[in-house]
Amino acid sequence: MIFLVTGAAGFIGSNFVDYLLTDERNDIFAIDNLDDFYSSDIKKENCRLFQNHPRVHFEKLDINETEAFQRSVSRFLKCRNALSKRRIHIIHFAARPGVAQSFTTPDLTNKSNVIGTRSVLHIAKIIGASTFIFASSSSVYGKLGSVPFHEDLNLGEPMSPYAASKVEGEILCSSFAMENKNCSVRVLRFFTVYGNRQRPDMAITKFARTAISNQQIVLYNNGNNYRDFTHVNDIVEGIHLVIKGSIAGFGVFNIGSGGSIKLEKLANLVVNHLASKSKVIKQKAIKGDMIRTQADISKVKKLGYAPRIFIEKGVKTFLDEYLSARVIEAEN
Ligand SMILES: NC(=O)c1ccc[n+]([C@@H]2O[C@H](COP(=O)([O-])OP(=O)(O)OC[C@H]3O[C@@H](n4cnc5c(N)ncnc54)[C@H](O)[C@@H]3O)[C@@H](O)[C@H]2O)c1
């Protein structure tokens, strides 16, 4: 199969490319603009392992450079002799993530997440993709009061420009599906993802960094936020199952763990596991933060999805790997 992966140098994208490479029938066209949301050195390191792989063609490219994007994809498909023979799946991860940052740079969020998604959908139409996967987010559930969130719920008011950009992306995908009836368009709502190569701006990475240096860990909303944390290996497996089980048309799936943990408990877990002297301090809620997320995963379970790594165990493995990576870094 042929896979076009956008945002391939990012946290989830690079894990997904690694997963695809475990099946030798897969050829991958991977792009990323290595944007400055966080260090491009981390992104370069993320794709270092697959960049020179014979079954991967990686380009530093912005999804909004539609013409260049189209030219590169066509060249790739021609050279793989793929246009008429092999099914093409597009997995669209590229986006500017981050709820808090989207308040300060809403135009950048809109450009990558909304205009960029339109551009990738345009490419999907031109090349006749059989599958289009859109990486959406639990943030689209917005101000809904009660959990777990089921896909059929009417969405609550988006609480940030980031959440709004994901709602818009979903709408673009749904209207694309109405016009392109042979394509299987799937919106996947990921719930807070963690694991190997996790973004530096995310809670667990921040807690780990602060705990290692025995500094104060800040918890917003007095530590009373709850999150459904999903291990990246479960996310990758979920995406694979959705692609495998997909038929033409539009569909929305939550991919989460199905559980939820209080951030205060998570912070204590990190502090204890690292035997840190950090104190946890509580502050008021910040703009855009949802109080609680928890996925109803009954729909994706019907495709065979069963999360394997739960937060209490997953976070310890993450911390052990994080610590050993720092030791290796210090030694070099
Ligand atoms: N990590 C999570 O907890 C989480 C939760 C819900 C949804 N998501 C979504 O999953 C996707 C991947 O998230 P992630 O955590 O891996 O983030 P990430 O920032 O690590 O990866 C996104 C990648 O997209 C690239 N990118 C951004 N704008 C681009 C553009 N215009 N052209 C080309 N590449 C561009 C970035 O350079 C980055 O490498 C995103 O769409 C995100 O919104 C993530």
Which residue is closest in CA terms to ligand 1's atom 28? 95
Whole-number Å distance between alpha carbons of 170 and 186: 9
Q: Is residue 284 part of a domain?
A: no
pLDDT of residue 144: 81
Pocket test for ligand 1, best of 160, 190, 194 (most atoms within 8 A of CB): 190
Q: What is the pLDDT of residue 7?
A: 98
The catalytic residue positions are: 162
Distance of alpha carbon 203 from alpha carbon 227, whole angstroms = 10
Question: What is the Cα–Cα distance from 225 to 283, expressed in whole angstroms?
Answer: 12
The verdict on residue 139 lying in a domain is yes
Is residue 280 domain-resident? no
Mutate to test the pocket of ligand 1, among 29, 33, 173 (most ligand atoms within 8 A of CB): 33
Domains in the chain, number: 1
- Provide the pLDDT for residue 327: 66
CATH number at 70 reads: 3.40.50.720
Protein residue with its CA nearest to atom 19 in ligand 1:
10
Q: How many angstroms does the Cα of residue 97 sit away from the middle of ligand 1?
A: 6
**Token digits for 299?**
């729909």
**Can you tell me which atom of ligand 1 is nearest the CA of 40?**
37
Which residue shows structure tokens 């992966």?
A: 5
Which residue is closest in CA terms to ligand 1's atom 38? 10
Backbone angles phi, psi at 185, to 5 degrees: -105, 120
Give the Cα separation of 202 and 59 in Å (integer).
Answer: 26
Full domain range(s) for residue 43: 2-194+232-257+294-307
136 CA closest ligand 1 atom index: 7
**Amino acid 143: pLDDT:** 87
Residue 200 included in any domain: no
In a domain, 275, yes or no: no
- Tell me what pLDDT residue 49 has: 85
Residue 11, domain member (yes or no): yes
pLDDT in tens, the chain (332 residues): 999 999 999 999 999 999 999 999 999 999 999 999 999 999 999 999 899 999 999 999 999 999 999 999 999 998 886 655 789 999 999 999 999 999 999 999 999 999 999 999 999 999 999 999 999 999 999 988 789 999 999 898 999 999 999 999 999 999 999 999 999 999 999 999 999 999 999 999 999 999 999 999 999 999 999 999 999 999 999 999 999 998 899 999 999 999 999 999 999 999 999 999 999 999 999 999 999 999 999 999 999 999 999 999 999 999 998 888 776 666 66
Among 2, 23, 39, 19, CA closest to 10: 39
Residue 217 carries which side chain, given as an amino acid letter?
A: I
Residue 323's pLDDT is 86
Mapped to the 3 state alphabet, what secondary structure does 20-74 carry? HCCCCCCEEEEEECCCCCCCHHHHHHHHHHHHCCCCEEEEECCCCCHHHHHHHHH
pLDDT at 80: 80
pTM beyond 0.75: the answer is: yes
Q: Residue 45: left if φ>0, alpha if ψ -120 to 50, beta else—which one?
A: alpha
202 inside domain: no
Q: Which of 9, 95, 23, 18 is nearest to 59 (CA)?
A: 9
Which atom, in ligand 1's list, is nearest to the CA of 64? 31
Asked if the structure places residue 15 within a domain, the reply is: yes
